[in-house]
Structure 1
Amino acid sequence: MSGPREDDQPLLSVRGLGKRYGDRIGCRDVSFDVWPGEVLAIVGESGSGKTTLLNCISTRLEPTTGAVRYRLRDGQERDLYEMSEAERRLLMRTDWGFVHQNPADGLRMSVSAGANVGERLMAVGQRHYGNIRGTAANWLERVEIAEDRIDDRPRDFSGGMRQRLQIARNLVTGPRLVFMDEPTGGLDVSVQARLLDLVRGLVADLGLAAIVVTHDLAVARLLSHRMIVMKDGAVIEAGLTDRVLDDPQAPYTQLLVSSILQV
Protein backbone atom coordinates (compact mmCIF):
# COMPACT_ATOMS: atom_id res chain seq x y z
CA MET A 1 0.00 0.00 0.00
CA SER A 2 1.42 3.39 -0.94
CA GLY A 3 2.21 5.78 1.88
CA PRO A 4 0.52 9.06 2.76
CA ARG A 5 1.02 12.21 0.72
CA GLU A 6 4.05 14.28 1.61
CA ASP A 7 3.03 17.00 4.03
CA ASP A 8 4.92 18.91 6.65
CA GLN A 9 2.14 19.00 9.26
CA PRO A 10 -0.09 16.32 10.74
CA LEU A 11 -3.83 16.48 10.17
CA LEU A 12 -4.68 15.25 13.67
CA SER A 13 -2.50 15.36 16.79
CA VAL A 14 -3.40 13.48 19.97
CA ARG A 15 -1.40 14.23 23.14
CA GLY A 16 -1.68 12.57 26.55
CA LEU A 17 -5.27 11.52 25.98
CA GLY A 18 -7.04 9.73 28.80
CA LYS A 19 -10.59 8.80 29.73
CA ARG A 20 -11.82 7.52 33.08
CA TYR A 21 -15.24 6.14 34.00
CA GLY A 22 -15.14 6.61 37.76
CA ASP A 23 -12.44 4.23 38.95
CA ARG A 24 -12.23 2.43 35.62
CA ILE A 25 -9.71 3.49 32.98
CA GLY A 26 -11.00 3.64 29.41
CA CYS A 27 -7.68 4.77 27.95
CA ARG A 28 -4.61 6.53 29.34
CA ASP A 29 -1.76 8.71 28.14
CA VAL A 30 -2.27 8.08 24.41
CA SER A 31 -0.31 10.22 21.93
CA PHE A 32 0.00 9.95 18.15
CA ASP A 33 -0.28 11.94 14.91
CA VAL A 34 -2.22 11.18 11.74
CA TRP A 35 -0.95 12.68 8.48
CA PRO A 36 -2.95 13.65 5.38
CA GLY A 37 -3.64 10.57 3.26
CA GLU A 38 -2.54 8.13 5.97
CA VAL A 39 -4.54 5.21 7.35
CA LEU A 40 -3.90 4.38 11.01
CA ALA A 41 -5.23 1.18 12.55
CA ILE A 42 -5.98 0.94 16.28
CA VAL A 43 -5.97 -2.74 17.22
CA GLY A 44 -6.56 -4.74 20.36
CA GLU A 45 -8.90 -7.21 21.97
CA SER A 46 -12.33 -6.34 23.31
CA GLY A 47 -11.93 -4.06 26.33
CA SER A 48 -8.50 -2.79 25.26
CA GLY A 49 -9.73 0.82 25.09
CA LYS A 50 -9.66 1.21 21.31
CA THR A 51 -13.31 2.24 20.93
CA THR A 52 -13.09 4.65 23.87
CA LEU A 53 -10.06 6.21 22.19
CA LEU A 54 -11.88 6.49 18.85
CA ASN A 55 -14.88 8.14 20.50
CA CYS A 56 -12.63 10.65 22.31
CA ILE A 57 -10.72 11.72 19.20
CA SER A 58 -13.92 11.99 17.12
CA THR A 59 -15.59 14.22 19.80
CA ARG A 60 -18.28 11.65 20.58
CA LEU A 61 -16.93 11.31 24.11
CA GLU A 62 -15.10 14.04 26.03
CA PRO A 63 -11.70 12.90 27.37
CA THR A 64 -10.71 13.32 31.01
CA THR A 65 -7.18 14.44 30.20
CA GLY A 66 -5.10 15.41 27.18
CA ALA A 67 -5.72 17.27 23.94
CA VAL A 68 -6.84 16.52 20.39
CA ARG A 69 -5.83 19.06 17.77
CA TYR A 70 -7.06 19.14 14.15
CA ARG A 71 -5.75 21.13 11.20
CA LEU A 72 -8.59 22.82 9.34
CA ARG A 73 -8.68 23.40 5.58
CA ASP A 74 -7.35 26.95 6.04
CA GLY A 75 -4.26 25.51 7.77
CA GLN A 76 -5.30 26.64 11.24
CA GLU A 77 -4.80 24.05 13.99
CA ARG A 78 -7.54 23.93 16.62
CA ASP A 79 -8.08 22.04 19.86
CA LEU A 80 -11.31 20.11 19.24
CA TYR A 81 -12.48 20.52 22.81
CA GLU A 82 -11.97 24.28 22.73
CA MET A 83 -14.22 24.56 19.67
CA SER A 84 -17.92 25.33 20.08
CA GLU A 85 -20.47 22.54 19.75
CA ALA A 86 -21.68 24.14 16.50
CA GLU A 87 -18.13 24.18 15.07
CA ARG A 88 -17.66 20.51 15.94
CA ARG A 89 -21.01 19.57 14.39
CA LEU A 90 -20.04 21.37 11.18
CA LEU A 91 -16.75 19.46 11.13
CA MET A 92 -18.60 16.15 11.50
CA ARG A 93 -20.95 17.02 8.62
CA THR A 94 -18.28 18.23 6.22
CA ASP A 95 -14.62 17.41 6.91
CA TRP A 96 -15.14 14.12 8.74
CA GLY A 97 -16.92 10.83 8.23
CA PHE A 98 -17.79 8.17 10.80
CA VAL A 99 -18.48 4.59 9.68
CA HIS A 100 -20.19 2.60 12.43
CA GLN A 101 -19.83 -1.11 13.01
CA ASN A 102 -23.61 -1.45 12.81
CA PRO A 103 -24.76 0.37 9.65
CA ALA A 104 -28.14 1.08 11.26
CA ASP A 105 -26.32 3.47 13.63
CA GLY A 106 -24.99 5.48 10.70
CA LEU A 107 -28.01 5.41 8.36
CA ARG A 108 -31.58 6.61 8.46
CA MET A 109 -33.35 3.32 7.90
CA SER A 110 -36.74 4.87 7.10
CA VAL A 111 -35.65 6.94 4.08
CA SER A 112 -34.31 5.84 0.69
CA ALA A 113 -30.71 5.02 -0.15
CA GLY A 114 -30.55 8.14 -2.31
CA ALA A 115 -31.89 10.31 0.49
CA ASN A 116 -29.30 8.91 2.91
CA VAL A 117 -26.53 10.10 0.60
CA GLY A 118 -28.35 13.30 -0.38
CA GLU A 119 -28.80 14.44 3.22
CA ARG A 120 -25.04 14.85 3.63
CA LEU A 121 -24.95 16.99 0.46
CA MET A 122 -27.79 19.16 1.75
CA ALA A 123 -25.88 19.58 5.02
CA VAL A 124 -23.08 21.27 3.07
CA GLY A 125 -25.47 23.60 1.26
CA GLN A 126 -26.50 21.79 -1.93
CA ARG A 127 -30.13 22.46 -2.84
CA HIS A 128 -30.63 21.43 -6.50
CA TYR A 129 -32.65 18.19 -6.42
CA GLY A 130 -31.41 16.92 -9.78
CA ASN A 131 -27.77 17.48 -8.90
CA ILE A 132 -28.18 15.85 -5.49
CA ARG A 133 -29.91 12.81 -6.98
CA GLY A 134 -27.29 12.53 -9.73
CA THR A 135 -24.43 12.68 -7.24
CA ALA A 136 -26.15 10.12 -5.01
CA ALA A 137 -26.63 7.76 -7.98
CA ASN A 138 -22.95 8.16 -8.89
CA TRP A 139 -21.87 7.32 -5.36
CA LEU A 140 -24.14 4.28 -5.16
CA GLU A 141 -22.42 3.02 -8.29
CA ARG A 142 -19.00 3.70 -6.73
CA VAL A 143 -19.89 1.49 -3.76
CA GLU A 144 -21.34 -1.23 -5.99
CA ILE A 145 -25.04 -0.61 -5.35
CA ALA A 146 -27.18 -0.75 -8.51
CA GLU A 147 -28.66 2.61 -9.51
CA ASP A 148 -32.15 1.08 -9.65
CA ARG A 149 -31.96 0.62 -5.85
CA ILE A 150 -31.69 4.39 -5.27
CA ASP A 151 -35.30 4.65 -4.04
CA ASP A 152 -35.16 1.50 -1.89
CA ARG A 153 -34.75 1.82 1.86
CA PRO A 154 -31.73 0.45 3.73
CA ARG A 155 -33.98 -1.94 5.68
CA ASP A 156 -34.40 -3.83 2.38
CA PHE A 157 -30.62 -4.16 1.88
CA SER A 158 -28.25 -6.91 3.01
CA GLY A 159 -25.70 -6.18 5.75
CA GLY A 160 -22.93 -5.70 3.22
CA MET A 161 -25.03 -3.31 1.11
CA ARG A 162 -25.96 -1.28 4.17
CA GLN A 163 -22.31 -0.93 5.08
CA ARG A 164 -21.45 0.17 1.53
CA LEU A 165 -24.31 2.69 1.63
CA GLN A 166 -23.01 4.05 4.93
CA ILE A 167 -19.59 4.50 3.31
CA ALA A 168 -21.14 6.38 0.37
CA ARG A 169 -23.08 8.62 2.77
CA ASN A 170 -19.86 9.47 4.61
CA LEU A 171 -17.61 10.04 1.59
CA VAL A 172 -19.96 12.05 -0.64
CA THR A 173 -18.94 15.37 0.94
CA GLY A 174 -15.24 14.78 0.29
CA PRO A 175 -14.09 14.54 3.93
CA ARG A 176 -10.41 14.65 4.77
CA LEU A 177 -10.63 12.29 7.76
CA VAL A 178 -12.82 9.22 8.24
CA PHE A 179 -13.23 7.24 11.46
CA MET A 180 -14.16 3.56 11.08
CA ASP A 181 -15.28 1.43 14.02
CA GLU A 182 -14.92 -2.29 13.16
CA PRO A 183 -16.16 -1.64 9.59
CA THR A 184 -16.31 -5.36 8.71
CA GLY A 185 -17.75 -6.57 12.01
CA GLY A 186 -20.68 -8.95 11.66
CA LEU A 187 -20.20 -9.54 7.93
CA ASP A 188 -19.55 -12.88 6.25
CA VAL A 189 -15.93 -13.47 5.23
CA SER A 190 -16.62 -13.15 1.49
CA VAL A 191 -18.58 -9.92 2.06
CA GLN A 192 -15.76 -8.60 4.27
CA ALA A 193 -13.22 -9.17 1.51
CA ARG A 194 -15.25 -7.21 -1.05
CA LEU A 195 -15.86 -4.38 1.40
CA LEU A 196 -12.17 -4.13 2.34
CA ASP A 197 -11.15 -3.99 -1.32
CA LEU A 198 -13.71 -1.25 -1.88
CA VAL A 199 -12.59 0.79 1.14
CA ARG A 200 -8.92 0.45 0.25
CA GLY A 201 -9.58 1.66 -3.30
CA LEU A 202 -11.71 4.62 -2.22
CA VAL A 203 -9.25 5.75 0.47
CA ALA A 204 -6.40 5.65 -2.05
CA ASP A 205 -8.39 7.35 -4.85
CA LEU A 206 -9.64 10.16 -2.62
CA GLY A 207 -6.42 10.66 -0.64
CA LEU A 208 -8.32 10.34 2.63
CA ALA A 209 -6.83 10.02 6.06
CA ALA A 210 -8.57 7.32 8.08
CA ILE A 211 -8.48 5.91 11.59
CA VAL A 212 -9.70 2.30 11.68
CA VAL A 213 -10.51 0.49 14.91
CA THR A 214 -10.40 -3.29 14.53
CA HIS A 215 -9.63 -6.46 16.45
CA ASP A 216 -8.81 -8.16 13.12
CA LEU A 217 -5.12 -7.98 12.23
CA ALA A 218 -5.89 -8.95 8.62
CA VAL A 219 -8.05 -5.84 8.29
CA ALA A 220 -5.24 -3.74 9.75
CA ARG A 221 -2.69 -5.18 7.34
CA LEU A 222 -4.88 -4.63 4.30
CA LEU A 223 -6.00 -1.09 5.08
CA SER A 224 -3.39 0.69 7.21
CA HIS A 225 0.03 2.26 6.80
CA ARG A 226 0.68 2.43 10.54
CA MET A 227 -0.88 0.80 13.56
CA ILE A 228 -1.02 1.13 17.31
CA VAL A 229 -1.67 -1.86 19.56
CA MET A 230 -3.68 -1.29 22.76
CA LYS A 231 -4.04 -3.31 25.93
CA ASP A 232 -5.77 -2.27 29.16
CA GLY A 233 -6.29 1.26 27.86
CA ALA A 234 -2.65 1.92 26.94
CA VAL A 235 -0.63 1.82 23.72
CA ILE A 236 1.93 -0.97 24.06
CA GLU A 237 3.35 -0.93 20.53
CA ALA A 238 3.22 1.36 17.50
CA GLY A 239 4.86 1.51 14.10
CA LEU A 240 4.53 0.74 10.42
CA THR A 241 1.88 -1.95 9.98
CA ASP A 242 4.10 -4.46 8.19
CA ARG A 243 6.88 -3.98 10.74
CA VAL A 244 4.58 -4.48 13.73
CA LEU A 245 2.94 -7.59 12.24
CA ASP A 246 6.09 -9.17 10.81
CA ASP A 247 8.40 -8.36 13.72
CA PRO A 248 6.30 -7.59 16.83
CA GLN A 249 8.35 -6.39 19.81
CA ALA A 250 5.88 -6.40 22.71
CA PRO A 251 5.01 -9.83 24.14
CA TYR A 252 1.29 -9.03 23.90
CA THR A 253 1.61 -8.15 20.20
CA GLN A 254 3.60 -11.35 19.64
CA LEU A 255 0.77 -13.28 21.27
CA LEU A 256 -1.87 -11.55 19.10
CA VAL A 257 0.06 -12.25 15.90
CA SER A 258 0.86 -15.87 16.77
CA SER A 259 -2.76 -16.63 17.74
CA ILE A 260 -3.90 -15.44 14.32
CA LEU A 261 -1.27 -17.51 12.54
CA GLN A 262 -2.32 -20.65 14.42
CA VAL A 263 -5.96 -20.39 13.41
Structure 2
Amino acid sequence: MSDQSLLSARHLRKMYGARLGCTDVSFDLHEGEVLAVVGESGSGKSTLLSLLSTELEPTAGSVHYRFRTGETRDLASLSEAERRFLLRTDWGFVRQDAREGLRMGVSAGGNVGERLMAVGERHYGQIRGKAIDWLTRVEIEEARVDDMPGSFSGGMRQRLQIARNLVTHPRIVFMDEPTSGLDVSVQARLLDLIRGLVSDLGLAVIIVTHDLAVARLLSHRTMVMRGGRVVETGLTDQVLDDPQDAYTQLLVSSVLPA
Protein backbone atom coordinates (compact mmCIF):
# COMPACT_ATOMS: atom_id res chain seq x y z
CA MET A 1 0.00 0.00 0.00
CA SER A 2 1.43 3.37 -1.02
CA ASP A 3 1.96 6.02 1.65
CA GLN A 4 0.55 8.56 -0.78
CA SER A 5 -3.23 8.83 -0.86
CA LEU A 6 -5.08 7.72 -3.97
CA LEU A 7 -8.21 9.69 -3.05
CA SER A 8 -8.53 12.40 -0.41
CA ALA A 9 -11.71 14.05 0.83
CA ARG A 10 -11.53 17.23 2.89
CA HIS A 11 -14.45 18.78 4.78
CA LEU A 12 -17.06 17.57 2.29
CA ARG A 13 -20.50 19.06 2.74
CA LYS A 14 -23.68 18.64 0.72
CA MET A 15 -26.93 20.50 1.28
CA TYR A 16 -30.19 19.76 -0.52
CA GLY A 17 -31.72 23.17 -0.03
CA ALA A 18 -32.18 23.38 3.72
CA ARG A 19 -31.72 19.63 4.23
CA LEU A 20 -28.32 18.25 5.18
CA GLY A 21 -26.91 15.44 3.05
CA CYS A 22 -23.54 15.20 4.79
CA THR A 23 -21.08 17.57 6.41
CA ASP A 24 -17.41 17.83 7.37
CA VAL A 25 -16.37 14.44 5.97
CA SER A 26 -12.60 14.01 5.63
CA PHE A 27 -10.56 10.86 4.96
CA ASP A 28 -7.81 9.36 2.79
CA LEU A 29 -8.01 6.22 0.69
CA HIS A 30 -4.84 4.35 -0.27
CA GLU A 31 -4.11 1.89 -3.06
CA GLY A 32 -5.43 -1.58 -2.31
CA GLU A 33 -7.49 -0.39 0.65
CA VAL A 34 -11.15 -1.24 1.19
CA LEU A 35 -13.15 1.33 3.14
CA ALA A 36 -16.68 0.51 4.29
CA VAL A 37 -19.10 3.37 4.96
CA VAL A 38 -21.88 2.13 7.22
CA GLY A 39 -24.99 3.60 8.78
CA GLU A 40 -28.76 3.43 8.68
CA SER A 41 -30.90 4.78 5.86
CA GLY A 42 -30.59 8.56 5.71
CA SER A 43 -27.18 8.62 7.39
CA GLY A 44 -25.56 10.33 4.40
CA LYS A 45 -23.49 7.42 3.14
CA SER A 46 -25.02 7.33 -0.35
CA THR A 47 -24.71 11.11 -0.66
CA LEU A 48 -21.03 10.76 0.24
CA LEU A 49 -20.52 8.09 -2.41
CA SER A 50 -22.13 10.33 -5.03
CA LEU A 51 -19.85 13.21 -4.05
CA LEU A 52 -16.72 11.07 -4.22
CA SER A 53 -17.64 9.66 -7.64
CA THR A 54 -18.43 13.17 -9.01
CA GLU A 55 -22.13 12.38 -9.53
CA LEU A 56 -22.92 15.23 -7.15
CA GLU A 57 -21.14 18.54 -6.66
CA PRO A 58 -20.27 19.38 -3.06
CA THR A 59 -21.69 22.45 -1.37
CA ALA A 60 -18.30 22.84 0.28
CA GLY A 61 -15.05 20.91 0.60
CA SER A 62 -12.97 19.06 -1.96
CA VAL A 63 -11.99 15.66 -3.33
CA HIS A 64 -8.49 15.12 -4.76
CA TYR A 65 -7.42 12.13 -6.86
CA ARG A 66 -3.90 10.97 -7.72
CA PHE A 67 -3.72 9.97 -11.38
CA ARG A 68 -1.54 7.20 -12.82
CA THR A 69 0.93 9.92 -13.88
CA GLY A 70 1.44 10.81 -10.22
CA GLU A 71 -0.34 14.15 -10.59
CA THR A 72 -2.95 14.93 -7.92
CA ARG A 73 -5.89 17.07 -8.95
CA ASP A 74 -9.02 18.51 -7.41
CA LEU A 75 -11.90 16.66 -9.08
CA ALA A 76 -13.83 19.93 -9.33
CA SER A 77 -11.17 21.18 -11.77
CA LEU A 78 -11.75 18.36 -14.28
CA SER A 79 -13.49 19.09 -17.55
CA GLU A 80 -16.57 17.05 -18.36
CA ALA A 81 -14.54 15.04 -20.90
CA GLU A 82 -11.83 14.31 -18.30
CA ARG A 83 -14.43 13.30 -15.75
CA ARG A 84 -16.17 10.93 -18.16
CA PHE A 85 -12.84 9.39 -19.18
CA LEU A 86 -11.98 8.81 -15.52
CA LEU A 87 -15.31 7.05 -14.96
CA ARG A 88 -14.68 4.78 -17.98
CA THR A 89 -11.09 3.88 -17.10
CA ASP A 90 -9.66 4.40 -13.61
CA TRP A 91 -12.96 4.11 -11.74
CA GLY A 92 -15.77 1.60 -11.54
CA PHE A 93 -19.20 1.93 -9.95
CA VAL A 94 -21.17 -1.16 -8.89
CA ARG A 95 -24.72 -0.06 -8.19
CA GLN A 96 -27.32 -1.54 -5.87
CA ASP A 97 -29.68 -2.13 -8.78
CA ALA A 98 -27.61 -3.77 -11.52
CA ARG A 99 -30.09 -2.53 -14.12
CA GLU A 100 -28.79 0.99 -13.47
CA GLY A 101 -25.20 -0.11 -14.06
CA LEU A 102 -25.80 -2.19 -17.19
CA ARG A 103 -27.00 -1.53 -20.72
CA MET A 104 -30.08 -3.73 -20.60
CA GLY A 105 -30.50 -3.63 -24.38
CA VAL A 106 -26.97 -4.96 -24.99
CA SER A 107 -25.80 -8.57 -24.60
CA ALA A 108 -23.73 -9.73 -21.63
CA GLY A 109 -20.59 -9.82 -23.75
CA GLY A 110 -21.46 -6.44 -25.23
CA ASN A 111 -21.76 -4.89 -21.78
CA VAL A 112 -18.22 -5.95 -20.95
CA GLY A 113 -16.90 -5.17 -24.43
CA GLU A 114 -18.27 -1.62 -24.39
CA ARG A 115 -15.98 -0.72 -21.52
CA LEU A 116 -12.98 -2.10 -23.42
CA MET A 117 -13.91 -0.07 -26.48
CA ALA A 118 -14.09 3.02 -24.27
CA VAL A 119 -10.37 2.64 -23.56
CA GLY A 120 -9.48 2.22 -27.21
CA GLU A 121 -9.67 -1.50 -27.97
CA ARG A 122 -11.01 -2.15 -31.46
CA HIS A 123 -10.20 -5.77 -32.38
CA TYR A 124 -13.52 -7.64 -32.23
CA GLY A 125 -12.00 -11.04 -31.55
CA GLN A 126 -9.83 -9.75 -28.70
CA ILE A 127 -12.71 -7.80 -27.17
CA ARG A 128 -14.99 -10.84 -27.31
CA GLY A 129 -12.25 -13.06 -25.89
CA LYS A 130 -11.67 -10.73 -22.94
CA ALA A 131 -15.41 -10.44 -22.37
CA ILE A 132 -15.76 -14.23 -22.22
CA ASP A 133 -12.75 -14.47 -19.90
CA TRP A 134 -14.31 -11.98 -17.51
CA LEU A 135 -17.73 -13.60 -17.64
CA THR A 136 -16.18 -16.90 -16.57
CA ARG A 137 -14.22 -15.12 -13.82
CA VAL A 138 -17.50 -13.93 -12.34
CA GLU A 139 -19.06 -17.38 -12.74
CA ILE A 140 -21.18 -16.72 -15.84
CA GLU A 141 -21.00 -19.50 -18.40
CA GLU A 142 -19.43 -18.73 -21.76
CA ALA A 143 -22.62 -19.95 -23.44
CA ARG A 144 -24.45 -16.93 -21.97
CA VAL A 145 -22.15 -14.37 -23.68
CA ASP A 146 -24.80 -13.36 -26.24
CA ASP A 147 -27.74 -13.46 -23.81
CA MET A 148 -29.42 -10.25 -22.70
CA PRO A 149 -29.11 -9.13 -19.05
CA GLY A 150 -32.88 -9.23 -18.71
CA SER A 151 -32.72 -13.03 -18.93
CA PHE A 152 -30.32 -13.22 -15.97
CA SER A 153 -31.18 -13.63 -12.29
CA GLY A 154 -30.50 -10.74 -9.90
CA GLY A 155 -27.28 -12.33 -8.69
CA MET A 156 -26.07 -12.96 -12.24
CA ARG A 157 -26.83 -9.38 -13.25
CA GLN A 158 -24.79 -8.15 -10.30
CA ARG A 159 -21.87 -10.39 -11.32
CA LEU A 160 -22.16 -9.11 -14.89
CA GLN A 161 -22.03 -5.53 -13.58
CA ILE A 162 -18.85 -6.41 -11.67
CA ALA A 163 -17.27 -7.87 -14.82
CA ARG A 164 -18.21 -4.75 -16.80
CA ASN A 165 -16.55 -2.54 -14.21
CA LEU A 166 -13.39 -4.53 -13.59
CA VAL A 167 -12.43 -5.46 -17.17
CA THR A 168 -10.42 -2.23 -17.58
CA HIS A 169 -8.54 -2.82 -14.29
CA PRO A 170 -9.72 0.35 -12.52
CA ARG A 171 -7.85 1.72 -9.53
CA ILE A 172 -10.94 2.58 -7.46
CA VAL A 173 -14.33 0.88 -7.40
CA PHE A 174 -17.32 2.49 -5.71
CA MET A 175 -19.93 0.00 -4.50
CA ASP A 176 -23.41 0.99 -3.36
CA GLU A 177 -25.08 -1.81 -1.35
CA PRO A 178 -23.99 -4.44 -3.93
CA THR A 179 -25.63 -7.37 -2.11
CA SER A 180 -28.86 -5.66 -1.04
CA GLY A 181 -32.04 -7.38 -2.19
CA LEU A 182 -30.36 -10.70 -3.00
CA ASP A 183 -31.10 -14.00 -1.30
CA VAL A 184 -28.75 -14.85 1.56
CA SER A 185 -27.06 -17.71 -0.32
CA VAL A 186 -26.59 -15.50 -3.39
CA GLN A 187 -25.20 -12.73 -1.18
CA ALA A 188 -22.61 -15.09 0.30
CA ARG A 189 -21.37 -16.24 -3.13
CA LEU A 190 -21.23 -12.67 -4.41
CA LEU A 191 -19.29 -11.46 -1.38
CA ASP A 192 -16.77 -14.28 -1.76
CA LEU A 193 -16.38 -13.35 -5.43
CA ILE A 194 -15.89 -9.64 -4.64
CA ARG A 195 -13.38 -10.39 -1.88
CA GLY A 196 -11.33 -12.62 -4.19
CA LEU A 197 -11.30 -10.16 -7.08
CA VAL A 198 -10.44 -7.18 -4.88
CA SER A 199 -7.53 -9.10 -3.38
CA ASP A 200 -6.27 -10.48 -6.71
CA LEU A 201 -6.41 -7.11 -8.48
CA GLY A 202 -5.26 -4.96 -5.56
CA LEU A 203 -8.23 -2.64 -5.96
CA ALA A 204 -9.08 0.30 -3.76
CA VAL A 205 -12.78 0.11 -2.88
CA ILE A 206 -15.26 2.35 -1.12
CA ILE A 207 -18.32 0.28 -0.26
CA VAL A 208 -21.52 1.70 1.18
CA THR A 209 -23.53 -0.80 3.19
CA HIS A 210 -25.99 -1.03 6.06
CA ASP A 211 -24.83 -4.63 6.66
CA LEU A 212 -22.00 -4.81 9.19
CA ALA A 213 -21.25 -8.39 8.14
CA VAL A 214 -20.40 -7.07 4.67
CA ALA A 215 -18.10 -4.46 6.20
CA ARG A 216 -16.37 -7.08 8.35
CA LEU A 217 -15.84 -9.48 5.46
CA LEU A 218 -14.59 -7.00 2.86
CA SER A 219 -13.09 -3.91 4.45
CA HIS A 220 -9.85 -2.89 6.12
CA ARG A 221 -11.33 0.27 7.61
CA THR A 222 -14.86 1.27 8.53
CA MET A 223 -16.41 4.72 8.76
CA VAL A 224 -19.71 5.04 10.63
CA MET A 225 -22.13 7.81 9.63
CA ARG A 226 -25.19 9.17 11.36
CA GLY A 227 -27.26 12.20 10.38
CA GLY A 228 -24.77 13.17 7.67
CA ARG A 229 -21.77 13.15 10.00
CA VAL A 230 -18.94 10.69 10.63
CA VAL A 231 -19.27 9.52 14.23
CA GLU A 232 -16.50 6.90 14.26
CA THR A 233 -13.76 5.59 12.00
CA GLY A 234 -10.94 3.10 12.35
CA LEU A 235 -9.77 -0.40 11.52
CA THR A 236 -12.83 -2.54 10.86
CA ASP A 237 -12.13 -5.09 13.60
CA GLN A 238 -11.58 -2.33 16.14
CA VAL A 239 -14.72 -0.43 15.20
CA LEU A 240 -16.94 -3.53 15.18
CA ASP A 241 -15.41 -5.37 18.15
CA ASP A 242 -14.77 -2.37 20.42
CA PRO A 243 -16.99 0.52 19.25
CA GLN A 244 -16.38 3.80 21.07
CA ASP A 245 -19.33 5.88 19.90
CA ALA A 246 -22.76 5.21 21.44
CA TYR A 247 -24.40 5.03 18.02
CA THR A 248 -21.84 2.51 16.75
CA GLN A 249 -22.39 0.47 19.90
CA LEU A 250 -26.11 0.48 19.16
CA LEU A 251 -25.53 -0.59 15.55
CA VAL A 252 -23.23 -3.43 16.57
CA SER A 253 -25.48 -4.65 19.40
CA SER A 254 -28.51 -4.68 17.10
CA VAL A 255 -26.85 -7.28 14.86
CA LEU A 256 -27.64 -10.77 16.10
CA PRO A 257 -24.60 -13.04 16.29
CA ALA A 258 -24.44 -15.82 13.69
TM norm structure 2:
0.99
Structure 2 matches for 1:78-227, cutoff 5 A? 78-227=73-222
For residues 157-185 of structure 1, what are the alpha-carbon distances to aligned partners after superposition, in whole Å with 9 as ceiling and x for unaligned?
A: 00000000000000000100000000001
The one-letter amino acid of 1:238's match is T
User: Which position in structure 1 is the counterpart of 2:233?
Assistant: 238
Q: Distance in 2 between matches of 1:250 and 1:10?
A: 26
Runs (4 or more) in structure 1 with deviation over 6 Å come to: none
The one-letter amino acid of 2:24's match is D
Q: Distance in 1 between matches of 2:32 and 2:9?
A: 17
1:260 aligned counterpart, secondary structure: coil
* Identical aligned residues as a percent: 73
Gaps of 5+ in 1: none
> Number of aligned pairs?
258
Q: Distance in 2 between matches of 1:22 and 1:150?
A: 45
Q: Distance in 2 between matches of 1:112 and 1:34?
A: 34
2:224 aligned counterpart, secondary structure: strand
Please state how far the C-alpha of 1:111 moved relative to its aligned partner: 1.1
The one-letter amino acid of 1:239's match is G
For residues 86-142 of structure 1, what are the alpha-carbon distances to aligned partners after superposition, in whole Å with 9 as ceiling and x for unaligned?
A: 111000000000000000000011110000000000000000000000000000000
Aligned counterpart in structure 2 of residue 13 of structure 1, from 8, 32, 51: 8
Please state how far the C-alpha of 1:262 moved relative to its aligned partner: 6.3
The one-letter amino acid of 1:260's match is V
User: Which position in structure 2 is the counterpart of 1:252?
Assistant: 247
1:61 aligned counterpart, secondary structure: coil
The one-letter amino acid of 2:127's match is I
The one-letter amino acid of 2:219's match is S
Q: Distance in 2 between matches of 1:197 and 1:262?
A: 20
Q: Distance in 1 between matches of 2:198 and 2:62?
A: 26
- State the superposition RMSD in angstroms: 0.8
1:165 aligned counterpart, secondary structure: helix
1:186 aligned counterpart, secondary structure: coil
Please state how far the C-alpha of 1:63 moved relative to its aligned partner: 0.6
Gaps of 5+ in 2: none
User: Which position in structure 2 is the counterpart of 1:228?
Assistant: 223
The one-letter amino acid of 1:202's match is L
Please state how far the C-alpha of 1:261 moved relative to its aligned partner: 2.7
Q: Distance in 1 between matches of 2:95 and 2:35?
A: 16
Please state how far the C-alpha of 1:205 moved relative to its aligned partner: 0.1
Please state how far the C-alpha of 1:217 moved relative to its aligned partner: 0.2
